[in-house]
Chain A
Amino acid sequence: MSRLQLDNLHLSRGGHTVLEQLNGRFQDGAITALIGANGAGKSTLIAAIMGMLTPAGGQVKCTVPKERRAWLPQQLALDLSFPMSVEELIMTGTWPSHGAFKGYCAAHYRRGREIMSRLGISQLAHRQLGELSGGQRQRALIGRTLMQEAELLLLDEPFANVDTDTVDILMDTLREMARQGATLIVVLHDMEQLSQLADDVLLLAGGHGQWVNPERLIEQQGGVAPRAPRLPITLAEFSHARSD
């Protein structure tokens, strides 16, 4: 039984159908890449999985409690001029257990420090978010989801505007989270990153979704992992592509 399942899902925005007849299971303890051109419905699907968009039909079956679902939007969605330090940001990840009132204890601060050292941002603990580079910020945001002990993690282009060192560290961290049983869904545009990271791929195009085997996808792209997928990708290329 998988934690997250799509059952004949139909999603619409502003009266227009964005996605329909979407079915399938996301593997537990694995990383699923969500790919598709701009406007293919990736963000809409994420919103539906997070429970922020009511499906027009069908349903998202998710057994992960709300507070263990984490969504890391693209950085633009955050107000990074807000005065907050890296450590404070990571500590807000305790919201599921602490809510709005409970104080943090030493054990939580210790855990926060462990997370920062794992992500290589210990020296930035007291720096303000506004002073950080894109890569440093992304590490801090991933730190918050680690603090949250997320079981279902959705990431929207986590490697955009991020340096290669950070990409390596984040990829290791995400793989580690998957190994420990979390279900991860990552929006990606870069096929090279996809080939390194994804265990499974959900391709969105033309209002429909198609599960694709990552190796098959790379093969289809000419056997090499190019910097970006060749667009437009059509679903016909991948019919019966998934090996299960």
Chain B
Amino acid sequence: MRPMRTDAVRGHLDGLLLAVLEPGPLHGYAIIAAVQRRSGGVLELKTGTIYPALQRLERLGLLDSGWESTGERRRRRYELTEAGRGALTAERSAWSEFTAAIGSVLNPAVNPVAPRPAG
């Protein structure tokens, strides 16, 4: 499969970051590695773009972070807050609706979507 670069991922980055942090806390590089591993190497992020995104998610109260010492080095470790778990659930639900709607247009026979009631 062709790699999808940062531009294609933009708009979904928050959901991706929240999702890879769901199992437990990770530091910056491990988060990038987890996104690439989970996507089978298809999602190629410019790794420098995730740090401001992590700070923004922390500002919104969706992540917590703290320094962790490993030998002489310090690394910042991020973890989901309760609000972050809620946001991840909402992201998943919105993504399911989105893919179902697009799928029903692209492949109407395979992905029929029931019309929403009017009003």
On whether the two chains bind one another, the answer is no
Contacts from B to A (Cβ < 8 Å): none
